[in-house]
Amino acid sequence: MIITTRKDIIESILINTLPFLERKDPTNITSHIYISATEREVIVRSTDNEIGLQTHSDQFTIVETGTFTANGKKLLDIVRSLQNDIIEFELDGDNLFIKQKSTKFKLPTFNYQEYPSFPSVENKAEISLDSFELIKSLKKIIPAIDVNNPKFELNGALIDIKKSKTSFVGTDTRRLAVVELEKESEEELDLIIPKKAIIEIQKLFLDQISVFYDENHIIIKNDQFFLFSRLINGKFPEYSRIIPQSFKHIFTIPKKELIDAMKVINIISSEIMLTLEQNLITLQSLNSDTQEAKTTIETSIHIEEPLSIAINSKYLFDFISQVDTNDFELKVNEPTMPFLVKSENFLTVIMPILL
């Protein structure tokens, strides 16, 4: 097998494959990428058995067809070290040779026939989701998705499809983020997608996609990429019960002014006391005996008695960074109860800091 291509082409492909590889054990075949050259194109795969990516490219010169595996991280390191010129890959026996001008590397290969197989879209149901809305919705909730939670279902995003709407939900138990799309559906289902898969979906898919699923996997594909991920088995929390249905106070908050004010306070502390009073918002740092920061925002707020809430500013930043409007709603009952921030079809319920 002999193939050649430009450095930038193979480097881009390898960068995309790297997050899908087994990183801890280099003796495992899943630390390798799988490259197969047919007469028409080159197919590249990477997987750790939980998540996988396949990409196709016709930007190779295929001198001789064939298939090999090689350590993905080592191969990328080699490619990065080379000049911006043509690189040749030649398989000779059990070794892969990477050549450019007077430079030559040798890497061992594994038996490509032992490389894990990828699931197929055959016999899988297809979900009708607009790709732009899917990516945009997942991007909004991803900061609220937990990692390494012993309750595995919290380490992913819930896609909850009902007859009249589709909801995207993430929670780390300290906040709950929800995006709701008014969308008719013929069937009802719920899928929990791991956070790692969502991160890669956002990176790779920018145009129209097709989404398939069964009880074990979700597959997202377009003309260039084929991504699969195992679904998380488990019962996602009844998130609708967590969302308060009524509030004593509803305020309209200017987005830019609040961001600027929180940045000032964050120099001292990420934990902030937010006080709302007539036509004024005051932000003050918490938890420091020797340092203090305080600033105010003049805005149209109507309230009879001042109301103070202790908050983790990161949660507000994560919400505000995904808000498309110039302001948003802040809905509050009591300082010690969960409060809600909302803009259009995106909301986050946040637990206050209890002092």
Task: For residue range 320-336, list pLDDT tens digits in order.
Answer: 999 999 999 999 999 99
Q: Which pLDDT does position 212 carry in this prediction? A: 94
Q: Domains plus CATH for the chain?
A: 2-114 (3.10.150.10), 128-240 (3.10.150.10), 244-350 (3.10.150.10)
Q: How confident is the model at residue 289 (pLDDT cuts 50, 70, 90)?
A: confident
Which residue reads 């929670």 in tokens?
171
CA proximity to 332, closest of 317, 311, 312, 318 = 311
Residue 114 corresponds to which tokens in the numbers above?
A: 């032992």
Cα–Cα distance measured from residue 325 to residue 347, given in angstroms and rounded to the nearest whole number: 13
Q: How confident is the model at residue 53 (pLDDT cuts 50, 70, 90)?
A: very high
CA proximity to 177, closest of 248, 237, 129 = 237
Give the list of residues 6+ apart from residue 152 with CB closer than 8 angstroms, or none: 232, 233, 234
Cα–Cα distance measured from residue 204 to residue 202, given in angstroms and rounded to the nearest whole number: 6
Distance of CA 79 to the CA centre of its chain: 27
What's at 48, amino acid-wise? D
What percent of the chain clears pLDDT 70, i.e. is strictly above it? 100
Report yes or no: 50 and 30 within 8 Å, Cβ to Cβ: no
Which residue reads 């008719």 in tokens?
184
| Number of alpha carbons in the 13 Å side-chain half-sphere of residue 25 | 5
Summarised one tens digit per residue, pLDDT across range 259-280 is 999 999 999 999 999 999 999 9
Q: Which of 104-108, 233-237, 341-345 has the lowest mean pLDDT?
A: 233-237
Rounded mean pLDDT, 26-40: 96
Q: Which pLDDT does position 355 carry in this prediction? A: 81
Mean pLDDT over all residues of the chain? 95
Cα–Cα distance measured from residue 26 to residue 94, given in angstroms and rounded to the nearest whole number: 17
CA dihedral (23, 12, 68, 46) positive or negative: positive
Edge-first strand listing for the sheet containing 125-127: 66-71, 32-37, 42-47, 51-57, 225-230, 217-221, 210-213, 125-127
Report the 10 Å Cβ neighbour count for 284. Answer: 18
